[in-house]
A and B are shown apart, each in its own frame.
Chain A
């Protein structure tokens, strides 16, 4: 079945360092979404990318969708303690409203 792989599983950084998580789908995606889940919280939608090669920025976060629409990345510049959480990518199951989620990357930031 359709799978979404995400690496790394864990990332620990010092505050101020950059962070990147990578997402790779087994199939071409019509769009890719990113969510953030704070410890003890629920996933919160961050952004959706639709176009091949699309790059979107939200302050210190940069999201990229690959040319083949099978991979994506999230880069955080100069991490802060507020960035702590697990970042999930998700892609839609073809012909359905369902999403398949990556396993997530848990980010911890040392102040």
Chain B
């Protein structure tokens, strides 16, 4: 149980275009999902907390107009990188807690590697 999928696994886009990344909880309902960014050889940087049915909560320094998050249902959250630039190239990972477990661990999707040319 507690499987999270992410799509696409990798994407290459041109500068100025937008890219949408999907995160799905496959076997549980997630009222809260998290979006992280990871640079090579570095730790996970939390970008935002995605709440089903309400606006996402962004971490300090993360541009909410650039990284649009929509949590449309209990199993789907999307991250749209708008007007992407080369500096947005990174590994984006989502995660979710499984509320059935009553514990605090997060289950991560396989990640999306974004390259902006």
Which chain B residues border A102 with CB–CB below 8 Å?
43
> Cβ of A31 < 8 Å from any Cβ of B?
yes
Which chain B residues border A106 with CB–CB below 8 Å?
41
> Cβ of B75 < 8 Å from any Cβ of A?
no
> Cβ of A99 < 8 Å from any Cβ of B?
yes
> Cβ of B71 < 8 Å from any Cβ of A?
no
A14→B91 CA distance, assembly (Å):
30
A30→B103 CA distance, assembly (Å):
11
Q: Evaluate contact between B43 and A33: CB separation under 8 angstroms.
A: no
* Distance of B102 from chain A, by nearest CB (Å): 11
Subset of 14 A-B contacts with CB under 8 Å: A31-B104, A41-B110, A41-B111, A42-B110, A43-B108, A45-B107, A88-B43, A97-B49, A97-B97, A99-B34, A99-B46, A99-B106, A100-B46, A106-B41
A99→B43 CA distance, assembly (Å):
12
Q: Evaluate contact between A101 and B49: CB separation under 8 angstroms.
A: no
User: Which range contains the number of A residues in contact with the other chain?
Assistant: 20 to 34
Can you list the 6 inter-chain pairs with the closest CB atoms, starting with the nearest? A103-B43, A45-B105, A42-B108, A42-B111, A101-B44, A43-B108
A98→B105 CA distance, assembly (Å):
10
| SS of B interface (majority) | loop
- Smallest Cβ-Cβ distance to B105: which chain A residue: A45
User: Which of A30, A42, A48, A104 is close to B105, meaning CB atoms less than 8 Å apart?
Assistant: A48
> Cβ of B93 < 8 Å from any Cβ of A?
yes
| SS of A interface (majority) | strand
| Chain B residues within 8 Å of A, Cβ to Cβ | 32, 34, 41-44, 46, 49, 93, 95, 97, 103-111
- Smallest Cβ-Cβ distance to A43: which chain B residue: B108
- Smallest Cβ-Cβ distance to B107: which chain A residue: A45
Which chain B residues border A35 with CB–CB below 8 Å?
108
- Smallest Cβ-Cβ distance to A104: which chain B residue: B43
A106→B44 CA distance, assembly (Å):
14
Which chain B residues border A103 with CB–CB below 8 Å?
42-43
> Cβ of A66 < 8 Å from any Cβ of B?
no
> Cβ of A44 < 8 Å from any Cβ of B?
yes
User: Which of B34, B43, B103 is close to A98, meaning CB atoms less than 8 Å apart?
Assistant: B34
